[in-house]
A and B are shown apart, each in its own frame.
Chain A
Amino acid sequence: MDRVEFLHIAGQRAMTRAVGTILLSLTLTAFAAGAQDFNLVIRDHRFEPAEIRVPADKRVSLYVSNEDATPEEFDSTALKVEKVIAGRSKALIRIGPLTAGRYEFIGEFHADTAKGVVIAE
């Protein structure tokens, strides 16, 4: 392939990538704006608050901040979430839409203390 053709293809690829990035960020931004946000903290291997009330039938964002030095796994089959949160870092967990009810979650790495529940109403 000659140089011009190569540059053309490279240009096309860069363009595709750029469009992809824009689409992804648009989706994510649209999402962040439409969803409701809730904050959670993991401290001494416990969730604070341990009970979160969220609207039913809506997509919701949980911002979980792990203040412990050790990693934790936010785990809930009810919420369909399995996400590792490194020590001293934050994670965004998207849940819902949820039918009204109680949805329990645990920190799998410290299951005896790290327990919480999402109540959709």
Chain B
Amino acid sequence: MLGALIIVFREVIEAGLIIGIVLAVTRGVPGRGRWVGAGVLAALVGAGLLALFAETIASAFEGAGQELFNAGVLGIAVVMLMWHNLWMAGHGQEMAASMAEVGKAVSAGKRPLAALAMVVGLATLREGSEVVLFLYGIVAAGASVSSLLLGGALGLAAGALFTALTYYGLLAIPPRHIFAVTTVLIALLAAGMAAQAVQFLDAAGLINIMGQRLWDSSAWLPQDSIFGRLLHTLVGYTDRPTELQLIAYVVTLAIMAAMTWIAGSSRRPRAV
């Protein structure tokens, strides 16, 4: 039971952190619950299918199917996050300047919602399929189903509580700062995902360059500790990054910053 609890909790907090951020970013937007809910639901169905076809996917592309799939999922999420920040820089800022409610500003456009729902879905998909496979393995090994369900449910509850903490923590930020804070959060989230994606491409054998590790901070802050995991999901912390990972991280941040600056400055004359 404890095993199920720990694994489910570990996977749920990774997806939960992203769901919490997305909910905070979209606060006050009508219909955001439906979008985020649909993203999670679609992902849970997808996770089941993914677990079912795990072997087929893994053996595709000469055994690199799983890595390529993960890199693809992360890559799409990065693009969606970029799209969201670009849209917010172009529209959100000037609307917020003329409206009291930040929520109303965002509600004028549904497009970032679809992008964010997809990010939530992709995060849930990746973590969810691992949970499904793990739980299946335990059942197949003949463990009692009731203790498994109890452990899984407790893990899920703990993960949901964590999501709620993330959400309400972010809500404590004053509305006039929320644009800046969420823009930076999403940029860091995307940069971390990009660094993970290039590592999967490396593991798939598609990229064979710059695989040397740059530093090892695992003695001070191990990536598999709870705090390390949180930082890993949130800002892309890696205790043994490769050269390529750092480049992917910095380039993603630079692209995000450039897009936000260009979109923001082209709007500025009208806002003033």
**A interface residues, Cβ below 8 angstroms from B:** 24-25, 27-28, 31, 59, 69-73, 77-78, 80-81, 83-87, 89, 91-94, 96-97, 99, 108-112
Structural contact, B206 and A27, CB atoms closer than 8 A: yes
Interface residue SS majority, chain A: mixed
Complex partner residue of B137 from A28, A70, A112, CB under 8 angstroms: A70
Kindly state the separation between the CA atoms of A109 and B130 in the bound complex, as whole angstroms.
Answer: 9
Q: Are A89 and B59 in contact (CB under 8 A)?
A: yes
Residue B124 interfacial (CB < 8 Å): no
9 contacts between A and B (CB under 8 A): A31-B208, A77-B218, A77-B222, A83-B67, A84-B58, A89-B55, A89-B58, A109-B7, A109-B133
B67 cross-chain contacts in A, Cβ below 8 A: 83
Q: How far is the CB of A112 from chain B (nearest CB, A)?
A: 8
CB distance from A25 to the nearest CB of B (A): 7
Residues in A neighbouring B141, C-beta threshold 8 A:
70
The answer to whether A31 touches B205 (Cβ under 8 A) is yes
Chain B residues near A78 (CB, 8 Å)? 218, 240
Q: Are A24 and B54 in contact (CB under 8 A)?
A: no
Cβ-defined contact, A80 with B54, below 8 A:
no
Contact residues of B with A, CB < 8 Å?
Answer: 3, 7, 54-55, 58-59, 61-64, 66-67, 129-130, 133-134, 136-138, 140-141, 199, 202-206, 208, 211-213, 216, 218, 222-224, 239-240, 242
Complex contacts, B134 vs chain A, CB 8 Å: 71, 73, 108-109
Known: A73-B130, A84-B54, A84-B58. Contact between A91 and B240, CB under 8 A? no
Docked-complex contact A72 and B218, CB < 8 angstroms:
no
What residues on A are CB-neighbors of B224 within 8 Å? 77
Q: Which residues of B contact A108 (CB under 8 A)?
A: 7, 134
| CB closest residue in chain B, given A80 | B199
Besides A28-B64, A81-B203, A83-B66, 20 new A-B residue pairs in contact (Cβ under 8 A), listed by A number: A24-B61, A24-B206, A31-B205, A31-B208, A70-B140, A71-B133, A72-B137, A77-B224, A80-B242, A83-B58, A84-B133, A86-B55, A89-B58, A92-B63, A92-B64, A94-B205, A108-B134, A109-B138, A110-B137, A111-B3
Total of A-B residue pairs, C-beta within 8 Å: 87
Closest residue of A by beta carbon distance from B232: A77
Q: Are A86 and B140 in contact (CB under 8 A)?
A: no
| Residue of A with least CB distance to B229 | A77
Cross-interface CB contact of B140 among A69, A81, A83, cutoff 8 Å: A69
Cα(A36)–Cα(B253), bound, Å: 36
Nearest A residue (CB) for B242: A80
Chain A residues whose C-beta falls within 8 Å of the C-beta of B133 in the assembled complex: 71, 73, 84, 109
- Residues of chain A with a CB closer than 8 A to B202's CB: 94
Which of B140, B205, B223 has the most chain A CB atoms inside 10 A of its CB?
Answer: B205
Bound state CA distance, A97 and B243, in angstroms?
Answer: 12
A77, A81, A85, A93: the one within 8 Å of B223 (CB): A77
Complex Cα–Cα for A73 and B208 (A):
24
**Contact A28 B62, CB 8 Å, known A71-B137, A94-B205, A109-B134:** yes
Q: How far is the CA of A99 from the CA of B204 in the complex (A)?
A: 20
| A residues less than 8 Å from B203 (CB atoms) | 80-81, 83, 93-94
Query: Which residue from A80, A81, A87, A97 sits with its C-beta under 8 Å from B212?
Result: A97
Tell me, in angstroms, the Cα distance from A27 to B68 when the chains sit together: 14
- Cα(A110)–Cα(B61), bound, Å: 28
**Which chain B positions have C-beta within 8 A of A97?**
211-212
Partner of B136, one of A70, A73, A94, A111: A70
